Amino acid sequence: MELRQHENVGMGSALRTTAPADAKRFRAEGDWRDRTFLDDFLDNVAALPDKAAVVSYRKGEPLPTTITYGQLGALVDRFAGGLLAAGIGSGDVVAIQVANGWVGPALAFATMRVGAVPNPIPIIYREHELRFMLEHAGTKAYFVPQQFRGYDFATMARKLQSEIPTLEHLYFVDSEAGFDPEIDFVAQFVEPKRELDPGLGERLQSLRPTADDIAMLVYTSGTTGTPKGAVHTHNTAWSGYRNAITQALDLTASDVTFMASTLGHLTGFIHGMLVPLSMGQKVVYQDLWDVEGMLDMMDVEGLTWTLSSTTFALDMVEAQRKRAQTPASKLRAFACGGASIPPGVAVAMDELFSTSLVPLWGCSETGIASIHRIGASVATLDVSDGFPVTWQETRVVDTDGVPVPDGTVGDLQVRGPGVFVGYFGRPDLTEAAFTADGWYDTGDLGRVTGDGAIRIEGRSKDIIIRGGQNISPEEIEKALYTHPNVQDVAVVAYPDDRLGERVCAVIVAEGEAPTLEDVVAHVERAGMAKPFWPQKIVVVKDLPRTPSGKVQKFVLRERLAKAAVASPGRAG
């Protein structure tokens, strides 16, 4: 692998390029192809014009909005014409921060249609995060609601535009009547039927991206601080994501996807948009996660699969247990990653919904690196996070980069056709993330189990070093999840003058909050050695999470460090 300038990405970002011999091998083995997600979608538009493509449920609206493939294809061309009219073209970055619904897919495919780069942004992000992302990416156009959930995006976006030189265009979705038509999304993109313009189709065909062109710029979730812009081509994204999930879940065009995770995050963007719409599936959205609404729609919409964080599965189990009637569920698979699976959840999902919980492991940079197959036994699911996908290489190494024996915890590294091409505008970070022979260091700790599966043991930065002893928070968290008064938990380090670090359990309580003594007694009964016992607990209403559901442990560590309380005990 070497660094080169990708011509279709602005700012001249130095990204990795695949050696010709590797690219030839990836194609020969079927891990890469000469098609894009856009090609697949446009074929479905032609072949399935009357099939429902997107069904959008919005909070407060009694009925959903349904858009067919034919209608969505016309909107994509219409919006592509609007982008061209605004001067958006090859290599320009287009930020899309909209709630789940048909607008997101239409804008994303329209952006690809003109050779530009879509940058999906979670709807929950505000000025601090947005300033960094829009400025760092050299964003040229930004689509955002006028307001959402009471937040005034319009004022914030105008402020950012005045401060970011590259940000030429703002367009506001769901704007009020009488809003400035020059920046109103409906006036500029929906009402003008540019898909009917003579010559547009020929022009769009000439701008169509290739499989090795950039498909997306997605900023990492920020579990460790400053976001980094991960760049995938159509081929790396297809190999890393669609290839893995379709095989593991046996997906076909007849499946129906459910997605409540934001389309602004890679989980929603890939598995709630690119995968289902490139396969010809129907995808059902919620603009805000509503577990009761989701349970109500399961049978009506015929939902068959979803991919989201474990938190969503926990909500489903809790809500269904309060219902008298068992749903007529067709939801055969719930793929989940981003957080450990508490004991008993896989059993509950099977008993309540006849749904197979399918754990997986991966990250924005690698795609899905390991995953179980649908129908795996609960016993199998409880002891690992899936088997490595066959087209990528996975290894576990020590701090010197030397592979360790199976069963030994070490740093997880991945190499292969699904690995991203680099961090946007940061060749230094790209180079630092890879070994000399092309392995990407995920930052995750794990081990290979006896049957060859991968078991995640936490993040390398999550390790607590207490008196020189390394302690993995993952096992402590698993033990605490079995406590009847623990709903959610994150184990992190807090500073100690003598030992360097001690163990703190940050707990979301179920009913009466447990005391430190309760927690210690519980982990002792679980057979954990004394160095693993928490010396402090903090009870909170909820844990800080990324849009994908990952706990932001760096936030918890910073709070504890600022508190500077080294003595054991309980804090609220």
Chain segment 112-130, per-residue pLDDT in tens: 999 999 999 988 888 878 8
The residues that bridge with 466 in the sheet, in sequence order, are 469
Beta-carbon contacts of residue 420 (< 8 Å; ≥ 6 apart): 230, 231, 232, 236, 240, 364, 365, 366, 440
How far apart CA 389 and CA 523 sit, in angstroms, is 34
The residues that bridge with 117 in the sheet, in sequence order, are 93
323: tokens are 């219902």
How far apart CA 515 and CA 23 sit, in angstroms, is 57
According to the model, what pLDDT value does residue 529 have?
66
Q: Are 142 and 97 in contact (CB under 8 A)?
A: yes
The residues that bridge with 230 in the sheet, in sequence order, are 218, 423
Helix (H, G, I), strand (E, B) or coil at 343: coil
Can you tell me the mean pLDDT for 418-428? 93
CA-CA-CA-CA torsion for 171, 177, 181, 187, nearest 10 degrees? Answer: 70
Across 270-284, 339-353, 440-454, least confident range? 339-353
Q: Are 289 and 308 in contact (CB under 8 A)?
A: no
Q: Tell me the pLDDT band of 570, cut-offs 50, 70 and 90.
A: very low
What is the number of residues in the chain? 572
How far apart CA 455 and CA 372 sit, in angstroms, is 12
CB-facing half-sphere around the CA of 437: CA atoms within 13 A: 6
pLDDT tens profile 246-301: 999 999 999 999 999 889 988 899 999 999 999 999 999 999 999 999 999 999 99
Owner of token pair 């090609």:
39
Q: What is the DSSP letter of 8?
A: T
CA-based Rg of the chain, rounded to a whole angstrom? 24
Tell me how far CA of residue 133 lies from CA of 136, 177, 479, in angstroms: 5, 30, 38
476: tokens are 């402590």
How far apart CA 391 and CA 171 sit, in angstroms, is 41
How far apart CA 8 and CA 14 sit, in angstroms, is 12
Note the CATH number of domain 463-571: 3.30.300.30
According to the model, what pLDDT value does residue 250 have?
95
**Of 339, 438, 456, 441, nearest in space to 388 by CA:** 456
Helix (H, G, I), strand (E, B) or coil at 252: coil
According to the model, what pLDDT value does residue 6 have?
40
Question: What distance, in Å, lies between the first and last C-alpha atoms of the chain?
Answer: 50
Beta-carbon contacts of residue 224 (< 8 Å; ≥ 6 apart): 443, 459, 461, 554
DSSP H helices in 125-196? 127-137, 153-163, 185
According to the model, what pLDDT value does residue 339 have?
61
According to the model, what pLDDT value does residue 460 have?
74
Top pLDDT among 217 and 564 is at 217
Tell me how far CA of residue 252 lies from CA of 246, 276, 296, in angstroms: 8, 9, 24
Task: For strands 393-397 and 387-388, give the pairing.
Answer: unpaired
According to the model, what pLDDT value does residue 325 have?
81
Q: Tell me the pLDDT band of 459, cut-offs 50, 70 and 90.
A: confident
Q: DSSP labels for 257-272?
A: EEE-S-TTSHHHHIII
Percent of the chain with pLDDT over 90: 66
How far apart CA 294 and CA 179 sit, in angstroms, is 33
According to the model, what pLDDT value does residue 15 have?
84
CB-facing half-sphere around the CA of 335: CA atoms within 13 A: 31
- Domain locations in the chain? 463-571
pLDDT tens profile 494-541: 887 667 788 999 999 999 999 999 999 998 888 776 778 999 999 999
Indicate the average pLDDT of the chain: 89
pLDDT tens profile 22-78: 999 999 999 999 999 999 999 999 999 999 999 999 998 989 999 999 999 999 999
At residue 151, does pLDDT exceed 90?
no
- Amino acid, single-letter form, for residue 512: E
